[in-house]
Structure 1
Amino acid sequence: MSPSSLLPQLNWKGDDIEQDKSLAFINWDALRNHAAAVKRELDGAACSCHLSREYNMGGLHVVRRIDFDDGHRWVARLQLEPPTPESSLRLQNEVDTLAAVRAKSKIPVPRVFAHDASGEVGVGVVFMLIEFVPGDTAMDSFGGWDARKGETPARFKDKFHAALADIQVEMASIRFDKIGAIVYHDGEFAVGPIPNLGGPFDTAAEFFEAWAGAAKFPYKEATIRPRTPVHLVDEILSAIWSFPSGVRELSRRYPFRSGPFPLIHTDLYSSNIIIDADYNILSVIDWENSLVGPWELVEFNKELSVVPAVMDGPVFSKSAQGIAMQSSRAEYIKLVQQAEERGQHDTTLSTILSDERVQAFAHAFWLYGEGRIGFYDRVLKLLDYENVASHNPNFDLDLS
């Protein structure tokens, strides 16, 4: 990235992170020295640097800007945990995925200058040194969550959604014959194992079988009961605990789509999309948990994701907001179809997004890992409606 004396006002924290005792395991001096060494190797000339006082922290990472004396700026993105085999694998998968996205699509992603997936540099955590993109996340911009509650400003929504549609079409066009995490080996991109799950998998059924054996709902009964209506709690608990086994049974009879399978960014929230002051998308970040996955797990970007009505069961009620969301989703599908046509892509993505049963399953699948309480068994019945109805002529599932 070319030097610039102008730095946009970012919604980052400004207190002294190096005095944060909870992060005492991070060796900031080692990070500074390593960044300078990498820059010197790339440029062939010595250049000193310092870490910005400003930083951003969320989830499993902390981000600090690296300012070089020659005006260039990078970003250090560090995991907020000591290195483990799984965290190291996640970082390497993200580095390889970013390289694949840059090579195989037009999706804007930051360039990776260096990374340490083993902890050998001595920083205390695994990390990446990446291109600094001079913008804020769509979540943090224009007053952030406090001002907008995650909503895109109305004057930018059409443009933003059109750009997201282009990105999702590009992403869905990055396909592999197996399901797993992207790896770079011997000069080629391939698919390897998914951290904490295994693989690669030849079919969606194999993936869901493995997921069912490893899945764990993040909350225990003692947490769920107080948050759930008394007259429904036992049924909901049963639905939650049985969801993995239900997915396993479904995988043995449901006609999931075959490969090649698409790349999926599992955290396509506005907090992972960097924009400029005019809401143009500058970069898509945080590919750590991305995977090449089953088509039935492809969903809308998170701003347009909705909890399936059947997950709420008898407590579901229609609302003006929900009706407006359905309209926005329909408009978004049209944008995807237009992007598919412009890029001469097939229509698999728009077909998947248009299938309400598949979308209910996809979103419920990701919500399970986040701990959302609901009737997961009804989502499976909805996806498998034809099979269930054929064995029970009196079966009726209210989709309202």
Structure 2
Amino acid sequence: MTPPTTPQLNWKTDAINENKSLSHINWPALTRYAATARRQLDGVDCSSCQLSPKYNMGGLHVVRRIEFDDSVQWLARLQLKPPTPASSQRLLTEVHTMAAVRSKSGIPVPEVFAYDAAGEESGVGAAFMLMEFVPGDTAMDSFGGWETHKGETPAQYKDKFHEALADIQTQMASIRFPKIGTIVIRDGNLDVGPISNLGGPFNTAAEYFEAWAQTARFPYKEATVRSRTPEGLVEEVLAAIWSFPSRVRELAGRFPFRDGPFPLIRTDLYSSNIIIDKECNVLSVIDWENAFVGPWELVEFNKQLSIVPPAMDGPLFKRTEWWMAMEGARTEYVRLVQRAEEERGFDNRLSTILSDGNVQAFAHAFWLYGDGCIGFYDRVVKDLLHQGKS
């Protein structure tokens, strides 16, 4: 039998054992666990496996390829930091979400073979999952990586890539549940559970936003905001930032939010989370730990088409050539979503949400608040409330 060929991946080649941030990981324990899991799963007498010297690492995870002695390959994906109850729950949520996406859509998602949410049973020392190896690079790492394209999809592939993203997002929005929260599997059935640090599950969007408003905190202090804001606008901007949670609470009581069932949402549909081949065909969508079932009013464009809402920039907003080009690309993306909805026989709730400028401004502002983006948040809420009255 000829071993399968592994494509050249844009992974790190330095000595992983010298990486101090990974010193808590017991790599031999990982290979032992993988060999045992493979025997139990496939019933094969797989005596050994080894880890590839190459690896890839992002902000939260490190991945390595596992090569069994019969040429089968898996992928090990480990959390970078030592496990905590919160990180263990994130991994469980991701495993359950991936299972839901695989069972309720045609979105290509790696199959999870085994996992240890605490890293204790296995002795690995880090929470991890063992899953299907997809032979490709992320769209971010492809075509020379960031150093070459700065995150831009090559022009010859952009239309194809956006069409694929539109279909993925259309399918994702079709995965719906009657409540807002995280996906859990109970007694073999898909259900909705609470959101970490927020609670739930929630029956309505208003309940979700009420809970969020009680816990939301802007990540930067006043001094940082002042140093990054024009002097003549700083007081207004500070007031807008500090009052945003209370304005969202006001919105919860006054705006006619859409009823459920509610869609599965990803706030991180970046090119770094999509694996492609050399022709920019999507092979897999990865990193589902932040996905949750959420209000329709928080669905936004994929991150390649994100723009800061003009209302947030206030008097600093400029209608540049770049901004107009992005507006055109977003209009075209909505058309692609509409086509995907029609071809799959879905309703038009996703394309309707993406076409609503005030809702999109609110959705993006909502997520930007957690990132610490400075802006006129009150103007975004004001525009949405005005729309709700009309």
Structure 2 counterpart SS, 1:286: coil
**Aligned equivalents of 1:35, 1:387: Cα separation in 2:** 54
State how 1:123-272 maps to structure 2 within 5 Å. Answer: 123-272=124-273
1:34 aligned to 2:57? no
1:381 aligned to 2:379? no
Amino acid at match of 1:40: R
Instruction: Tell me if the contact between 2:21 and 2:80 (Cα under 8 Å) persists in the aligned partners.
Output: no
Structure 2 counterpart SS, 1:384: helix
Matched length = 388
TM-score normalised by L of structure 1: 0.94
Structure 1 counterpart SS, 2:185: strand
1:68 aligned to 2:68? yes
Instruction: Tell me if the contact between 1:217 and 1:240 (Cα under 8 Å) persists in the aligned partners.
Output: yes
**Aligned equivalents of 2:249, 2:385: Cα separation in 1:** 13
Once the two structures are TM-superposed, the CA of residue 108 in structure 1 deviates from its matched residue by: 0.3
**Aligned equivalents of 2:270, 2:3: Cα separation in 1:** 29
For residues 118-152 of structure 1, the C-alpha deviation after alignment (integer angstroms, 9 at most, x for no partner) is 33222112111111110111111111122212111
For residues 238-267 of structure 1, the C-alpha deviation after alignment (integer angstroms, 9 at most, x for no partner) is 211211111111101111001000001221
For residues 209-245 of structure 1, the C-alpha deviation after alignment (integer angstroms, 9 at most, x for no partner) is 1111122222222322222212222221221121111
**Aligned equivalents of 1:251, 1:196: Cα separation in 2:** 19
Structure 1 counterpart SS, 2:231: coil
Q: Runs of at least 4 residues of structure 1 off by over 6 A?
A: none
TM-score normalised by L of structure 2: 0.96
Once the two structures are TM-superposed, the CA of residue 3 in structure 1 deviates from its matched residue by: 8.2
Once the two structures are TM-superposed, the CA of residue 154 in structure 1 deviates from its matched residue by: 1.1
For residues 324-362 of structure 1, the C-alpha deviation after alignment (integer angstroms, 9 at most, x for no partner) is 111111111111111111111000000000000000011
Distance 1:387 1:256, change over 3 A: closer
Instruction: Tell me if the contact between 1:91 and 1:126 (Cα under 8 Å) persists in the aligned partners.
Output: yes
**Aligned equivalents of 2:268, 2:2: Cα separation in 1:** 31
Task: Show the counterpart of 2:291.
Answer: 290
Percent of aligned positions with the same letter in both sequences? 68
Amino acid at match of 1:297: L
Greater CA drift, 356-365 or 16-25: 16-25
Greater CA drift, 27-36 or 340-349: 27-36
1:77 aligned to 2:77? yes
Amino acid at match of 2:270: Y
**Aligned equivalents of 1:153, 1:47: Cα separation in 2:** 44
Distance 1:158 1:37, change over 3 A: same
**Aligned equivalents of 2:93, 2:62: Cα separation in 1:** 18
**Aligned equivalents of 2:54, 2:255: Cα separation in 1:** 50
Task: Show the counterpart of 1:102.
Answer: 102
Structure 1 counterpart SS, 2:311: helix
Greater CA drift, 56-65 or 278-287: 56-65
Structure 1 counterpart SS, 2:46: coil
Once the two structures are TM-superposed, the CA of residue 305 in structure 1 deviates from its matched residue by: 1.2
Query: Which 5+ residue runs of structure 1 have no aligned equivalent?
Result: 391-400
Once the two structures are TM-superposed, the CA of residue 379 in structure 1 deviates from its matched residue by: 1.0
**Aligned equivalents of 2:154, 2:353: Cα separation in 1:** 27
Instruction: Tell me if the contact between 1:312 and 1:375 (Cα under 8 Å) persists in the aligned partners.
Output: yes
Amino acid at match of 2:249: R
**Aligned equivalents of 2:220, 2:80: Cα separation in 1:** 22
Distance 1:3 1:298, change over 3 A: farther
Two-structure CA RMSD over aligned residues (Å): 1.5
**Aligned equivalents of 1:3, 1:25: Cα separation in 2:** 36
Instruction: Tell me if the contact between 1:263 and 1:290 (Cα under 8 Å) persists in the aligned partners.
Output: yes
**Aligned equivalents of 2:21, 2:55: Cα separation in 1:** 15
**Aligned equivalents of 2:73, 2:315: Cα separation in 1:** 53
Task: Show the counterpart of 1:348.
Answer: 349
Amino acid at match of 2:12: K
1:43 aligned to 2:56? no
Structure 2 counterpart SS, 1:77: strand
Distance 1:278 1:233, change over 3 A: same
Amino acid at match of 1:5: P
**Aligned equivalents of 1:16, 1:132: Cα separation in 2:** 22
**Aligned equivalents of 2:113, 2:184: Cα separation in 1:** 17
**Aligned equivalents of 1:227, 1:385: Cα separation in 2:** 30
Structure 1 counterpart SS, 2:78: strand
**Aligned equivalents of 2:132, 2:387: Cα separation in 1:** 49
Instruction: Tell me if the contact between 1:88 and 1:118 (Cα under 8 Å) persists in the aligned partners.
Output: yes
**Aligned equivalents of 1:136, 1:70: Cα separation in 2:** 24
1:359 aligned to 2:335? no
